[in-house]
Structure 1
Amino acid sequence: MFPLIRKEKLKLGNRTVSIPKLTRNRLKKLTDHLGTIGDLLVKVFLVPPADRSIMIVAGAEVMIDEIYELTSLLSDLDIDELSEQASLAECTEFLNLTWAKNDMNAALKNLSGLVPPMAQQFVTSIAARQNQAQG
C-alpha cells in the first residue's frame, strides 16, 4: 500500500498558500463566521414552500460570499484579491484540506464524548458547593 499523502500547499488564484493549523485564535474567527451559514439554513426552511426557491437563490450568493470570507480569514489573503483571482473550486478545496489537515471530524467526535463527563462533573461540583454552604 502507498502512504496517504496530504497536500500542504494549494494555489489560490495567483498565490500559493499553506494549509493552516487551526489554532484557538483561528477557530474563534472561524466560528464567528459559521453562525451566518446556520442562520441562512434556518431561514430557508422557515420560508413558505412557494417562496423557497427565491430564498435558495439568494442564499447561494450568501454561501459563496461566506466561502470566500472563510478562505480569506484562514489563508490571510485579502478578500478582494481572492474574489478577483481565486475560483470557487480553489476556495472549497482549501477549506476541505484545512478541515482534513486539522482532523476536525475526530476533534468534534472527541469533544462530543467529553460533554457528558464534563456536564456530570459540573453538576456534581455545584451540588458539593451547595452542601458545603448548607453544612
Structure 2
Amino acid sequence: MISRFLNKSADSVMLGDKSVKIPKLTPEKYKLLFERIETLPSIIVNVLAARHSGDFVATLIVGANLTLDEAVGIVAVLSDIDAEYISKNADLAEISEFIRLTLEKNDLQRALKNFRAVLGQFVTKPASPGDGKTEA
C-alpha cells in the first residue's frame, strides 16, 4: 500500500485496481460536478441543526453516509468510472487523494480570482455628479 503512494505521480491516482488520470475541469465537467454536489449543503445544514438535539448521532450517521455517497458520485463523474466500481473497490484514502489532487491541479482559487477580475471589467460604475449628464 505504501509503495503505491510513493510511486504514483501527481497526474494519476489509484482507485481500486484502476489508475485514473487527474482530470482537467472543463466547463462540461463543472456542470456535471455542480449537479452532483447540490445536496451537500442541505446535508451539512441538517447535521448542524440537529447538533443540540437527541437525534444528533443518528443525523450525523445518516449525514456521513449520504456524504460518502456524494463523494463517490463526484469521483465517478470526474473520473468517468462507474460509481458502483468506486464504492466497491476504492478506499477512502484513494477517494480523498483523487479529490485533493483534482482541486490542486485545477487551482480553483486562481480560477475564481481570474473570474472576478473579468467580471469587474463589465461592472459599470454608477453615474456621479459632474459626469456631464444633466437632469431634466
Normalised by the length of structure 2, the TM-score is 0.76
Give the number of aligned pairs: 119
TM-superposed deviation, 1:48: 6.0
Residues 1:101 and 1:119: Cα distance change in structure 2 (over 3 Å): same
Q: Structure 2: how far apart are the matches of 1:76 and 1:15?
A: 11
CA contact (8 A) 1:13 1:86 kept: yes
Is structure 2 residue 37 aligned with structure 1 residue 34?
Answer: yes
When you count helix as a share of all residues, which structure comes out higher?
Answer: 1
Q: Which runs of 5+ in 1 are unaligned?
A: 1-5, 125-135
**Percentage of pairs with the same residue:** 32
What amino acid maps onto 1:103 in structure 2? D
- Which runs of 4 or more aligned residues in structure 1 lie more than 4 Å from their structure 2 counterparts after TM superposition? 112-115
> Residue 10 of structure 1 is aligned with which of 8, 13, 17?
13
- TM-score relative to the length of structure 1: 0.77
Determine which of 54, 64, 78 is the counterpart of 1:74.
78
Matching residue of 2:114: 110
CA separation of 1:111/1:52 partners in 2, compared to 1, >3 Å: closer, same or farther?
farther
Select the structure of larger CA radius of gyration.
2
The alignment partner of 1:49 has SS state of coil
Determine the C-alpha separation between the residues in 2 that align with 1:95 and 1:32. 16
CA contact (8 A) 1:10 1:16 kept: yes
Any idea what the Cα deviations from partners look like across 1:76-120, whole Å, max 9, x if unmatched?
0111111111111101100110110011122123334555x3673
RMSD: 2.4
From 25, 28, 37, the equivalent of 2:28 is 25
Aligned to 1:130: none
